[in-house]
Copies of this chain bind each other. A is one copy, B any other.
Amino acid sequence: MIIVKGGVTTPKGFLASGVKAGIKKSGRADLALIYSEVPAVASGVFTTNVFKASPVRVSIANLRNKTHQAVVVNSGNANCANGKQGDKDAFAMASFISEAMELTRSEVLVASTGIIGHRLPVQKIKDNVPHLISELSENGGSDFAASIMTTDTVKKEVAVKIKLAGEVVSIGGAAKGVGMIHPLMKKGGHATMLGFLTTDVSISKACLEAALSEVVEDSFNMVSVDGDMSTNDSLFILANGLAGNRRISLKGKDYLAFLAALKFVCVSLAKMLARDGEGATKLVEVTVLGSKDADSARRIARKISTSNLLKCAIFGEDPNWGRVAAAAGSSGIDFDPNKTDIYLGPAKVLSNGSSMKSFDKEKVRKYIKGKDVFIKLDLKSGKHSASAWTCDFSKEYVAINSEYST
Interface residues, chain A, CB within 8 Å of chain B?
48-52, 78, 80-86, 115-118, 179-180, 182, 184, 189-190, 226-231, 306-310, 312-313, 315-323, 325-331, 333-335, 337-338, 349-350, 352-355, 393-395, 397-406
Contact = CB atoms under 8 A, between A and B. Distances in A.
A401 B228 contact: no
Given A116-B326, A228-B327, A355-B117, A308 B308 contact: yes
Given A49-B326, A326-B51, A228 B308 contact: yes
Contacts of A327: 228-229
B403 A316 contact: yes
A179 B328 contact: no
B227 A190 contact: no
Contacts of A333: 50
Nearest to A351: B83
A334 B52 CA distance: 12
A274 to B, nearest CB: 15
A81 B398 contact: no
Nearest to A303: B229
Contact of A82 (B82, B316, B355): B355
A37 to B, nearest CB: 37
Contacts of A318: 402-406
6 contacts: A81-B354, A116-B325, A190-B322, A190-B326, A231-B329, A308-B308
Given A190-B322, A316-B401, A328-B51, A309 B179 contact: yes
A180 B320 CA distance: 13
B309 A228 contact: yes
A188 to B, nearest CB: 14
Given A51-B329, A228-B330, 20 more contacts: A50-B330, A80-B325, A81-B322, A81-B325, A81-B353, A85-B354, A116-B325, A116-B355, A182-B330, A226-B308, A227-B306, A227-B308, A229-B326, A230-B326, A231-B329, A309-B401, A313-B402, A313-B405, A316-B404, A395-B395
B228 A323 contact: yes
Contacts of A331: 50
Contacts of A400: 312
A397 B350 CA distance: 27
- Most chain B beta-carbon neighbours within 10 Å: one of A326, A327, A353, A395: A326
Contacts of A404: 313, 316, 318, 320
Contacts of A182: 330
Contacts of A335: 50
Contact of A326 (B82, B86, B189, B315): B189
Contacts of A309: 179-180, 190, 226, 228, 401
Given A81-B322, A81-B350, A354-B83, A401 B226 contact: no
